[in-house]
Amino acid sequence: MLTLANARLVLPSGVVDGWVRVQGGRIVGVGAGAPAGADGAGARPEVVENVRGRVVVPGFVDMHVHGGAGASYQSGRLEEARRVAEFHLGAGTTTTVASLVTGTPQGLVDGVAGLADAADEGLIAGIHLEGPYLAGSRCGAHDPALLREPDRDEFARLVEAGRGHVRMITLAPELPGAVDLVRDAVRAGVVAAVGHTDAAGACVREAFDAGARVATHLFNGMRPLHHREGGPVGAALGDARVTVELINDGVHVEPEVVRLVFAAAGGRVALITDAMGAAGMGDGSYRLGPMSVTVSGGRATLEDGTSIAGSTITMAEAFRRAVEVAGIPLEDASRAASLVPARALGLDHEVGSLDVGKRADLVVLGEGRSVARVMKDGRWR
């Protein structure tokens, strides 16, 4: 049994000075002030660790990430998935969903099948299909030659290949058959997300009414907000059922817009990285699925410069920027980095907050809100 004492805990109810007790990989006690005694018959000897007033937040939950440390989830290879997951774990992401960009039908099946093995091993919490049913006019860093109309049979094959681990799919609701595929996803227990879309607001609202519950990287890869036609942005911000993703890297969305989204969407904002293989690496040439990417000054773009191609940040950086650059209150930024994405993925009974009974996934912050230590399943990593 381990008790972290003299901690500044970021709880769902606010920030308190107190302690958190861990046993068997779970949180078994949380309280304010000095630690209470570890009562109960058969209680193991207690180790008390003084964290000296440092901030302790729930482990970060990244619901949208493609790669890192020079590796990518796209191939489905277990060794690459392990490299990506371990890199982001070191930066505080204790729960991660592996995202795949648009690929060939067989390539996606192979990638999903390989990542299902990674999920079985506990490296990832599921698989996110970002495509291939996206709008060509908003394809971003997806290969336009591989985009296709929603195919319910193909989707069923991908779900089968994932062996229960396909957790989310992003699609453009204006495509023929897209709303029917949203309903298929809901029936299969897969979160449907709206993204890479040029749809009008009415069309997006139809998808939300059919069961879509996430807006993929709000503003990016979608029709812009206009005062006479709100499009996907207006529909997502106005729907209390919908979680809105934000890539808070200072490239995709400026701080003023981050503040506006937090003000408008309250507890529905999920910080994501959308990180590709260059995260944790230097400038240079990389791949995002079939596309060539150039990274310069930490900014990733397609080789021809036509589109941003994911990010190079970690969740720790997205969280830090929310607090220090956008001025989001600590507890709101923590919620957006942990509890909101966990809830969107249906994992909030296990992770996302420092609550008794949940997995002991937490991050101890150091100077400048850097990551000092990471605990996953009750073990320091």
287 is in an annotated binding site: no
128 is in an annotated binding site: no
Q: Among this protein's residues, is 274 annotated catalytic?
A: yes
Burial class (CB in 10 A: 0-12, 13-18, 19+), 263: exposed
Question: What is the crossing angle of helices 105-120 and 152-161, to 10°?
Answer: 30
The 3 state secondary structure assigned to 155-167 is HHHHHHHCCCCEE
Quote the Cα angle for 154-158-162, to 5°: 170
142 is in an annotated binding site: no
Residue 142's CB is within 10 A of a number of other CB atoms, namely 26
Distance CA 225, CA 261 (A): 12
Distance CA 216, CA 190 (A): 15
Question: What is the crossing angle of helices 152-161 and 178-187, to 10°?
Answer: 30
Distance CA 8, CA 327 (A): 19
CA distances, 328 to each of 148, 230, 258, 290, 321 (Å):
39, 25, 9, 36, 9
Distance CA 195, CA 262 (A): 19
Distance CA 92, CA 315 (A): 7
Distance CA 303, CA 306 (A): 8
Distance CA 262, CA 284 (A): 34
220 is in an annotated binding site: yes
130 is in an annotated binding site: yes
196 is in an annotated binding site: yes
5 is in an annotated binding site: no
The candidate with the shortest Cα–Cα distance to 151, out of 112, 105, 113, 190, is 105
92 is in an annotated binding site: no
Cβ atoms of 273 and 311 closer than 8 Å: yes
In the set 184, 239, 249, 274, the catalytic residue is 274
- The number of residues in the chain equals 381
Report the binding-site residues.
130, 141, 196, 217, 220-221, 228, 252, 308-310
| Catalytic residue annotation | 274
Residues annotated in a binding site for Zn(2+):
130, 196, 217
| Residues of the binding site for substrate | 141, 220-221, 228, 252, 308-310
